[in-house]
């Protein structure tokens, strides 16, 4: 909440693991931007410390003394996905913005994700691949590995999204809460799971181009993290297929219903309510 106890317009969630060196610089940049934009009293910044072994939490202390909208959440080390989930749970803003510590996307580009400049969409993804996006200083091998992973993701679980892994995303808070409640992955491929769940729910997703600057001191371990993410994607694919509102499960349920009707001699078409029950999302009542 803001200092006046009013619900903030925006919650910025920053997952942090061993970021004692970079986090203070990034918080200063964010603080300056919010003040210049006149957003300080309308924005809460939630830093989730993912079990850091350095002085990450201590490095934030000088800011919390004079920045009441800055919240620090300590937690055991479980991964970036778990940190985002914890941040969303504490967020109270109308919009929740995921933000990497390194600010590889300049923070002033956040205006492209929010009204009135942002598109009318429930989920907006910063993309390094759509037309108009620009990458700076990225090693070729990082780009190639990222494209190979994206092709695998599009083939297995999420066709049509060109960049699932960019760390800058904006979601309506209700949407973020729903998706994170169903999220199971705690590692770096959590983004894929959230977006795949979003598609199953029928939420609107829009990719927008950003300027992205490669950070040499990246926490990403290209080979090890890529292998872990591939394993997570295969595990995710199996789980998504078994969700009660996944296309595979809905089609199977519809086939079973039709077979039961044939055996019982009932040839009539299912009612609208019966069809709706097959496609119902938990928490959403089917229309009669």
Query: Per-residue confidence at 121, pLDDT binned at 50, 70, 90?
Result: very high
More confidently predicted of 51 and 239: 51
Query: Per-residue confidence at 281, pLDDT binned at 50, 70, 90?
Result: very low
- Residue-wise pLDDT for 71-97, tens only, equals 999 999 999 999 999 999 999 999 999
Contact call for residues 209 and 131 (beta carbons, < 8 A): yes
Separation of alpha carbons 137 and 198, rounded Å: 32
Rounded to whole angstroms, the maximal C-alpha distance in the chain is: 74
**Looking at residue 284, what is its pLDDT?**
40
Reply yes or no on whether the pLDDT at 246 is more than 90: no
Separation of alpha carbons 259 and 32, rounded Å: 64
Contact call for residues 143 and 135 (beta carbons, < 8 A): yes
- Residue-wise pLDDT for 219-244, tens only, equals 666 667 778 888 888 888 888 887 76
Contact call for residues 110 and 189 (beta carbons, < 8 A): no
Per-position DSSP letters for 242-266, written without gaps between them: TSTTSHHHHHHHHHHHHHHHHHHT-
Q: Which of 172, 119, 237, 133 is nearest to 10 (CA)?
A: 172
Q: What percent of the chain has pLDDT over 70?
A: 80
**Looking at residue 225, what is its pLDDT?**
75
Reply yes or no on whether the pLDDT at 285 is more than 50: no
CA 42, distance to chain mean position in Å, is 21
Query: Per-residue confidence at 32, pLDDT binned at 50, 70, 90?
Result: very high
**Looking at residue 236, what is its pLDDT?**
87
Over range 53-74, report the average pLDDT: 96
- pTM here? 0.82
Q: Which domains does the chain have, with CATH numbers?
A: 10-241 (3.90.550.10), 247-279 (no CATH)
Over range 200-206, report the average pLDDT: 96
Over range 15-30, report the average pLDDT: 97
Tell me what the pLDDT averaged over the chain comes to: 85
Please, which residues have CB within 8 angstroms of residue 126's CB and are 6 or more apart in sequence?
Answer: 105, 109, 113, 163, 166, 167, 168, 169, 207, 208, 210, 212
Over range 28-36, report the average pLDDT: 98
Reply yes or no on whether the pLDDT at 2 is more than 70: no
Please, which residues have CB within 8 angstroms of residue 262's CB and are 6 or more apart in sequence?
Answer: none
Highest mean pLDDT among 180-184, 212-216, 227-231, 245-249: 180-184
Reply yes or no on whether the pLDDT at 256 is more than 70: no
């Amino acid at each position: 909440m803001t200092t006046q106890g009013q619900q903030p317009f925006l919650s910025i969630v920053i997952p942090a693991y061993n970021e004692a060196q970079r986090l203070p610089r990034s918080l200063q940049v964010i603080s300056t931007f919010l003040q210049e934009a006149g957003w300080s009293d309308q924005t809460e910044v939630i830093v989730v410390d993912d079990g850091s072994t350095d002085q990450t939490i201590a490095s934030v202390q000088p800011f919390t003394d004079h920045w009441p909208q800055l919240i620090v959440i300590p937690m055991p080390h479980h991964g970036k996905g778990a940190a985002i989930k914890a941040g969303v749970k504490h967020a109270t803003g109308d919009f929740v913005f995921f933000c990497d510590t390194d600010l590889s996307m300049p923070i002033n580009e956040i205006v492209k994700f929010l009204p009135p400049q942002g598109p009318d969409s429930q989920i907006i993804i910063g993309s390094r691949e759509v037309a108009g996006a620009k990458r700076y200083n990225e090693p070729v091998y990082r780009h190639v590995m990222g494209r190979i992973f994206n092709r695998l993701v599009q083939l297995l679980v999420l066709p049509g999204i060109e960049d699932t892994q960019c760390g800058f995303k904006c979601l309506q808070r209700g949407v973020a809460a729903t998706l994170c409640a169903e999220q199971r992955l705690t590692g770096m491929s959590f983004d894929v799971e959230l977006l795949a769940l979003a598609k199953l729910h029928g939420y609107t997703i829009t990719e927008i181009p950003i300027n992205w600057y490669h950070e040499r001191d990246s926490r990403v371990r290209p080979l090890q993290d890529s292998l872990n993410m591939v394993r997570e994607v295969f595990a995710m694919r199996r789980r998504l297929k078994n969700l009660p509102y996944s296309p595979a499960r809905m089609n199977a349920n519809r086939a079973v219903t039709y077979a039961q009707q044939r055996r019982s001699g009932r040839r009539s078409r299912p009612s609208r309510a019966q069809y709706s029950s097959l496609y119902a999302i938990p928490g959403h009542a089917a229309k009669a």
